[in-house]
C-alpha cells in the first residue's frame, strides 16, 4: 500500500517531511568502484574499456570495434518496422522544432559612458551522450539529448550506448542517425563516461556529457565534472499529479504507474482535493498492478515510495507541490491555466486531463531530461543552452575609459591589487598627457 496522508491530520507535517526525506537513491555504495574504473581508463585507455566491457556487458571488443561501423548502422536501421520509423521521425521533427525556438541571440550595445558591451553565444565543440542499454534502451533519450546539441551547433557528437551480450536496439541507432550523431560506441557504464571525459587511443575526449544512466553512470558523471561539463545528476523518476475530482481515476492511475514502472525507487504521488478521487485512484492502481507487465518494478515503487495526499484546496495542493519540486507535474484539474501561476518548482508541467506525462517522454516536443530529487528548485531540464556558452564582450573608447576608469582604479587599490590599478592608470595618464 502507498502512503496515505491528509493535510487535516495533526501529524501531517511530520509525515510529509518524512516523505520528502525518504532516501530513493541506489542503496549500494558505488563511488569507490567508480573511482577505480575511472583511474583504470585513464591509465590504460582502450585496454581498460575493452576489459570492463567484457566483464560487465559480456561483449568482446577490439579498438576497431568499439564503435559501430556505418554498414552496421545501415543494417540495423533497415530492421526498424515502418510504423516505428514514422513515429520516431515525427518525434524527431517535433523535438527539433521545439528546441529551435530556444536558440539565444547575440547582443551588442553602447551604454551611456560610450562603452561597447554585449555577449555572443557559441556551442561546445564536442558533446558525448550517454544512452542506457539493455532493458532500459530508450531511442527517445537519443533524440532528447542529440537534437538540442545539433540545434546548438555542436560540431562533434558521439553516443555511448552499451550493448550487453551484443544485443542492439535498432531504434537507438536509427534515432542516432535521425539526430545527426557522428559516432556510436557500444560501451557503457562508468568506463564510457571516463572514456568520453579523458579520451583513449580510439575515443577522442568531449567537452560536455549528458544523458541518464544507472548509479554507476551518475557517480562517474559527478566525478568527471570539472574536467568536462555535465547536464545533471539524475535520480529515480518522479511524477506528481494534482487532482480536483474531475479526472478519470483510471487515467490518473496509469499516469502514476507510467513512472513507477521505470524503477523500484521511482516515486508517484497524487495530491487531490477530493477524498473520493483519492480512494478511486488508489483502487485503480491496485487493479492495474495485477496485470502490468512491469508490476515487479512498479509494485515496489508504489508500495515503498508512492503516496496519496488529501488536501483542503488547490492552493494547498500547489504549496505542497512546490515543496516536492517534482520532475513531472500533471495538473489533472478542471482549470489548469488558473492553477499554473501557483506552480513555482517543477521540471515539466502537463496541463489538463488530455496531457499524459508519457506524451512528454516521446512526442510532445519539450525535453524529457529533467531535474529530479527536488532539484527543480534550482535547475531546469535539458535544453539547447546546455550545449552553449556565453562569452561577454567589452570595448572601451578613450572617452569611456576616462569616465569609468578612475572608479576601477579606486576599487583595485581597495583590494590591494596594484597591477590591476596601474593597468588602468597607465592608460588614463596617456589620455591626460
| Angle (nearest 5°) at CA 65 between 62 and 67 | 130
In angstroms, rounded to a whole number, what is the distance separating the alpha carbons of residues 405 and 29?
54
Pairing of strands 126-130, 116-123: unpaired
> E strands, 325-367, where?
328-332, 348-351
Could you tell me where the DSSP H helices lie in 79-235?
82-100, 139-152, 170-179, 189-198, 215-224
| Angle (nearest 5°) at CA 283 between 279 and 287 | 170
User: Catalytic pick from 238, 261, 277, 327?
Assistant: 327
In angstroms, rounded to a whole number, what is the distance separating the alpha carbons of residues 144 and 420?
45
Decide if 26 is catalytic. Answer: no
Contact 302, 260 (CB under 8 A): yes
Could you tell me where the DSSP H helices lie in 262-397?
275-289, 295-305, 314-324, 336-339, 357-362
Contact 88, 172 (CB under 8 A): no
The partner residues of 241 in beta bridges, in order of sequence, read 270, 330
Contact 132, 141 (CB under 8 A): yes
Long-range contacts of residues 256-260, Cβ cutoff 8 Å, at least 24 apart: 256/281, 256/285, 256/302, 256/306, 257/285, 257/288, 257/289, 257/292, 257/298, 257/302, 258/356, 258/357, 258/358, 258/361, 259/301, 259/328, 259/357, 260/297, 260/298, 260/301, 260/302, 260/306
Give CA torsion, residues 53, 56, 58, 63, to 10 deg.
Answer: 0
Grid coordinates belonging to 384:
539547447
Decide if 420 is catalytic. Answer: no
Grid coordinates belonging to 174:
536509427
User: Of 180, 120, 119, 184, which is closest to residue 151 (Cα–Cα)?
Assistant: 180
User: Catalytic pick from 99, 328, 353, 368?
Assistant: 328
Residue positions annotated with a catalytic role: 327-328
Amino acid at each position: 500500500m502507498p502512503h496515505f496522508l491528509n493535510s487535516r491530520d495533526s501529524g501531517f507535517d511530520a509525515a510529509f517531511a518524512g516523505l520528502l526525506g525518504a532516501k530513493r537513491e541506489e542503496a549500494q555504495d558505488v563511488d569507490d568502484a567508480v573511482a577505480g574504473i575511472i583511474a583504470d581508463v585513464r591509465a590504460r585507455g582502450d585496454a581498460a574499456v575493452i576489459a570492463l566491457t567484457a566483464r560487465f556487458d559480456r561483449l568482446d571488443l577490439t579498438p576497431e570495434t568499439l564503435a559501430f561501423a556505418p554498414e552496421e548502422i545501415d543494417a540495423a536501421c533497415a530492421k526498424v518496422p515502418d510504423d516505428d520509423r514514422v513515429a520516431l521521425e515525427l518525434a524527431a521533427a517535433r523535438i527539433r522544432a521545439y528546441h529551435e525556438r530556444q536558440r539565444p541571440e547575440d547582443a551588442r550595445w553602447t551604454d551611456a559612458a560610450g562603452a561597447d558591451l554585449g555577449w555572443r553565444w557559441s556551442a561546445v565543440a564536442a558533446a558525448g551522450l550517454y544512452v542506457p542499454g539493455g532493458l532500459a534502451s530508450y531511442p527517445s533519450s537519443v533524440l532528447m539529448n542529440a537534437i538540442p546539441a545539433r540545434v546548438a551547433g555542436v560540431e562533434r557528437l558521439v553516443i555511448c550506448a552499451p550493448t550487453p551480450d551484443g544485443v542492439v536496439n535498432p531504434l537507438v541507432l536509427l534515432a542516432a542517425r535521425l539526430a545527426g550523431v557522428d559516432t556510436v560506441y557500444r560501451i557503457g557504464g562508468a568506463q564510457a563516461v571516463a572514456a568520453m571525459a579523458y579520451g583513449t587511443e580510439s575515443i577522442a575526449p568531449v567537452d560536455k556529457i549528458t544523458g541518464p544512466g544507472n548509479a554507476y553512470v551518475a557517480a562517474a558523471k559527478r566525478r568527471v565534472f570539472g574536467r568536462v561539463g555535465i547536464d545533471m545528476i539524475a535520480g529515480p523518476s518522479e511524477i506528481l499529479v494534482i487532482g480536483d475530482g474531475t479526472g478519470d481515476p483510471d487515467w490518473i492511475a496509469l499516469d502514476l504507474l507510467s513512472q513507477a514502472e521505470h524503477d523500484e525507487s521511482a516515486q508517484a504521488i497524487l495530491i487531490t482535493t477530493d477524498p473520493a478521487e483519492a480512494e478511486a485512484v488508489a483502487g485503480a492502481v491496485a487493479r492495474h498492478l495485477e496485470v502490468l507487465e512491469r508490476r515487479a518494478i512498479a509494485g515496489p515503487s508504489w508500495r515503498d515510495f508512492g503516496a496519496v495526499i488529501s488536501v483542503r484546496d488547490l492552493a494547498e495542493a500547489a504549496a505542497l507541490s512546490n515543496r516536492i519540486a517534482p520532475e513531472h507535474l500533471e495538473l489533472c484539474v478542471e482549470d489548469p491555466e488558473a492553477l499554473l501561476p501557483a506552480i513555482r518548482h517543477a521540471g515539466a508541467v502537463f496541463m489538463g486531463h488530455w496531457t499524459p506525462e508519457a506524451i512528454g517522454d516521446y512526442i510532445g516536443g519539450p525535453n524529457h531530461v529533467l531535474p529530479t530529487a527536488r532539484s527543480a528548485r534550482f535547475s531546469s531540464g535539458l535544453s539547447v543552452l546546455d550545449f552553449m556558452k556565453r562569452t561577454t564582450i567589452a570595448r572601451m573608447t578613450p572617452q569611456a575609459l576616462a569616465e569609468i576608469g578612475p572608479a576601477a582604479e579606486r576599487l583595485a587599490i581597495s583590494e590591494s591589487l596594484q597591477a590591476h590599478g596601474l593597468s588602468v592608470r597607465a592608460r588614463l595618464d596617456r589620455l591626460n598627457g
